[in-house]
Structure 1
Amino acid sequence: MSLNDIYTPKQIEILKACRDTDWFMLINHGAKRSGKTQLDNDIFLQELIRTRDTAKKLGIDTPQYILAGYALGNIQDNILTELSNKYGIEFKFDKYNNFTLFGVKVVQTSHGSIGGLGRIRGMTAFGAYINEASLANQEVFDEIKARCSGPGARIISDTNPDHPEHWLLKDYIKSNADGILNFHFRLDDNTFLDPRYVREIKATTPKGMFYDRGINGLWVSGEGVVYPDFDQNVHVITRKQAEGITFDRTFAGVDWGWEHWGAIVVIGVKADSYYVIEEHAAQHKYIDGWKAIAKDIIRRFGNIPFYCDPARPEHIAAFQSAGISAFPGNNRVLSGIEAIATLMKNQMFFIVYDECPRFRYEIYRYIWKGNTGEPLKENDDVLCAIRYGIYSDIVVNGNGDMAETIKRARALKGLI
């Protein structure tokens, strides 16, 4: 068996560069499913073996190594489970969720918030593996780097792209600093993927920013409207059509407002497609007015969940005190937008357009903000309510991974 049977040409290029270079930091960045993390997982094992050899020469019994991800669950899913499945490694964790492998103590920490600092502060590490690096809190990232002061320490990192002003891109990937290796991945670099999968993943990925990042691995911001795939000829249904559907479940999305419009939308789900069937939007409405609307929705649709903007916990509490099943909605903005954009792209999003006047106003005015890769906080109130509702429902029902949503879309289209 040769290297070509195990690794793609891109991965072999990186392995050779790592072998021939005295590097301090390796950053593999680019498209999803392009082979970045699979390669880094293997380099991680190689680095642990190298660390053990270095420590032995130095007479160090228990060298330490940092393994960081957005959260400990992400480390488990992206790295440890993959290594267990591939090599049969059984990880035995201590009470702090650390483990020892090849004679090296691996300290796990989350980098998504400043809380991750406590796990590594004061330690001396012989290296680090930082998964999903663009999601890291910059202070935690810098602390991990500072902790890697053991002789010959190296840092492995991988990430999907973010906006073009991101600190990881500007300060590290584009720095041309000695000791930093960085490699850009496109989806097509993963030559082991089924060509049919590649063809259909391209066809079902929303155009614009999500395609540029997810397929071409580019660090780009959005341009123009946030939902360019919305098409009145495809996504619009009538009230009569909506009434003819027996939904599998129904829920509501809520965005609080005052000067900005507040909104409650009612959304039904049928065979993995989402239908916005009611819109209630207003300015300068007090919480009692929104409670009255919610109770009327409950009277007609039953005790459905209301997924609400979590920024106003006192309003959520007021709903709950009134007997309304209100919950903080999932507020991962880009993930939520990508979820809805993917549904639109795959003809799995529908709306009673004629009866949703605020949606009609916003859908063509909701735009991206400059180079930040974030939407402009204008003309987004009903659209935010829809996002809170749909993305929370996706997460609650165990399908937070949009790759799975794409798989379902392909199944509905008869592609798998």
Structure 2
Amino acid sequence: MFDALVGKQLRSTQLATARGNLWEGAVRSSKTISSIMVWLRYIRTGPPGALLMVGKTERTLKRNIIDVIVSMVGVRRCKYKAGAGEVIIFGRTIYVAGANDERAADKIKGMTLAGAYMDEVTTFPESFFSMLGTRLSVEHAQWFGTTNPEGPNHWLKKKFLDKARLHVRRDGTEVVSSDPKALDLHRFSFSLHDNPYLPPAYVANLKLEYQGLFYKRFVLGEWCLAEGIVYDMFDEAKHVVDTLPDIRHWMCVGLDYGTINPFAALLIGIGSNDKLYVASEYRHDSRAERRQLTDAQYSQGVRQWLGSYKHGGGEGVTPQWIFVDPSAASFMTQLWTDGVQGVAKANNDVHDGIRSVGVAIGSNLLHVHRSCKGLISELPSYAWDPKAAAAGEDKPLKIDDHSVDGLRYGLHSTAHEWRHLIRLEDLETAA
């Protein structure tokens, strides 16, 4: 069962009458459900002709939208044809596609469309979005889309949303543009408060999921620049420790491979107090030490480092995983050759990885032993690239990022093992 639409949710379905209609803002703010309701109505009452549904990938489209529609109308009225690139809703065949790179525009060349639904529009290449506009050539064709905010210089905001004819703002006010060049586009901006059905405990946990930049975008619904320090929640006085508790589980090593650049590996464990600890760091800077090491020498160095680590009266640790920079294929082969267990490619999603690290730091779950000098020096200075932000992209500066990359590899690749350790009282203390 789905709750009845109220407030801005309902109002957006009434105002989605433009050629383009986009719901944007905070996560879990009900923008997706509102847009789906309009799309289902359009499938039944819109003009005849071909329809298209698009996501970043076909898989994410199915997970985010099609599965939700199935739960709303049942499998008889919504049949997804895996591998065929189609879904049948209310007896109407709809093409489905992913738009995750510049080649995506080729998928829709030559199409004549009567309507389209788009999920995660900010993840699309601009070329695909522009091409789709030319394909919606059936009379009275409309498109409907959803997205979370990105930077204010993102192409979607600058070229389209800022030129919308109607904007229902986060505070609920409705602004109609007087600009004669305004686009036939209605924009609905949602905040977390626009979904009154979310339980307070769930909202509190949602806020745990996002820190810093991502809190502003995905909780507050702001289109804000990625600027300043990435991990601005890091406080050396709070997060750096001189002693460690008993470590009940040596979870992983996060390893950033470098030859000319520094090589950094971090040993991460879960303490008896259910906190995360970066217990030790192995680091080699070829430039500073004027000695470049081979894969075999790095492998030996890592094995000696782990084998000689002393803690709790014992010597030597065997972490469950060693997550390596995915680009370092030859080094992973060397570790396997040397019999090292648990070697795996790290999850190298930069944005989601930064979010995982931010959550761990911001909730006071993560602590760093004072001996990890490389990481402690990099965390306070790891910054967003202002030139990339001005171009509409979110990228950290590739300066002094070797230990912080190793931390991201380790924490993001094991997020499923430690996220349940975050407690609401830790968030309150961090605030």
Q: With the length of structure 2 as denominator, give the TM-score of the two structures.
A: 0.81
- Cα deviation, 1:109-154, whole Å, max 9, x if unaligned, reads 1112245445433322221111011111222333333332233221
Letter in 2 for 1:380: D
Distance 1:375 1:104, change over 3 A: same
Distance 1:296 1:96, change over 3 A: farther
Q: Which residue does the alignment assign to 2:29?
A: 34
* C-alpha contact 1:366 1:375 (8 A) present in aligned 2: yes
Q: Which residue does the alignment assign to 2:53?
A: 67
Counting only pairs closer than 5 Å after superposition, residues 160-175 of structure 1 correspond to structure 2 as 160-175=148-163
* C-alpha contact 1:208 1:223 (8 A) present in aligned 2: no
Letter in 1 for 2:63: D
- Cα deviation, 1:355-396, whole Å, max 9, x if unaligned, reads 10111211111122223432221121100101011111226x
Q: Does 1:223 align with 2:224?
A: no
Q: Does 1:49 align with 2:44?
A: yes
Q: Which residue does the alignment assign to 1:144?
A: 132
Counting only pairs closer than 5 Å after superposition, residues 241-252 of structure 1 correspond to structure 2 as 241-242=244-245, 244-247=246-249, 249-252=250-253
**Which of the residues 187, 191, 196 maps onto 2:196?**
191
Unaligned runs of 5+ in 2: 165-181, 287-291, 308-315
Q: Does 1:289 align with 2:276?
A: no
Q: Which residue does the alignment assign to 1:81?
A: 67
Tell me the distance in 1 between the aligned counterparts of 2:274 and 2:72.
32
**Which of the residues 408, 411, 422 maps onto 1:409?**
422
Counting only pairs closer than 5 Å after superposition, residues 10-409 of structure 1 correspond to structure 2 as 10-18=8-16, 21=17, 23-51=18-46, 54-55=47-48, 63-90=49-76, 91-94=78-81, 95-114=83-102, 116-117=104-105, 119-176=107-164, 177-199=182-204, 201-202=206-207, 204=208, 207-239=211-243, 241-242=244-245, 244-247=246-249, 249-269=250-270, 273-284=275-286, 285-286=292-293, 287-296=295-304, 299=307, 300-302=316-318, 304-324=320-340, 325-352=342-369, 354-370=370-386, 371=389, 372-394=393-415, 405=419, 409=422
* C-alpha contact 1:250 1:301 (8 A) present in aligned 2: no
Distance 1:219 1:165, change over 3 A: same
Tell me the distance in 1 between the aligned counterparts of 2:144 and 2:19.
9
**Paired residue secondary structure (1:278):** strand
Tell me the distance in 2 between the aligned counterparts of 1:103 and 1:26.
24
Distance 1:272 1:17, change over 3 A: farther
Q: How many residues align?
A: 387
* C-alpha contact 2:210 2:218 (8 A) present in aligned 1: no
Which stretch of structure 1 is more off in the superposition, 42-51 or 281-290?
Answer: 281-290
Tell me the distance in 1 between the aligned counterparts of 2:205 and 2:79.
39
Distance 1:273 1:152, change over 3 A: farther
The CA RMSD measured in Å over matched residues stands at 2.7
* C-alpha contact 1:207 1:228 (8 A) present in aligned 2: no
Letter in 1 for 2:197: F
Tell me the distance in 2 between the aligned counterparts of 1:295 and 1:207.
35
Q: Which residue does the alignment assign to 1:58?
A: none
* C-alpha contact 2:365 2:426 (8 A) present in aligned 1: no
Tell me the distance in 2 between the aligned counterparts of 1:153 and 1:238.
64
- Cα deviation, 1:238-296, whole Å, max 9, x if unaligned, reads 44x24x1211x521111122443221111123587432111111212422332112323
Tell me the distance in 2 between the aligned counterparts of 1:305 and 1:279.
15
Which stretch of structure 1 is more off in the superposition, 342-351 or 297-306?
Answer: 297-306
Tell me the distance in 2 between the aligned counterparts of 1:128 and 1:209.
31
Letter in 1 for 2:13: L
Unaligned runs of 5+ in 1: 56-62, 400-404
The alpha carbon displacement at 1:297 in A equals 5.1
Distance 1:360 1:217, change over 3 A: same
* C-alpha contact 1:8 1:192 (8 A) present in aligned 2: no
Letter in 1 for 2:398: K
Letter in 2 for 1:293: G
The alpha carbon displacement at 1:185 in A equals 1.3
The alpha carbon displacement at 1:237 in A equals 3.3
Tell me the distance in 1 between the aligned counterparts of 2:319 and 2:204.
42
Q: With the length of structure 1 as denominator, give the TM-score of the two structures.
A: 0.84
> Which structure shows the higher helix fraction?
1
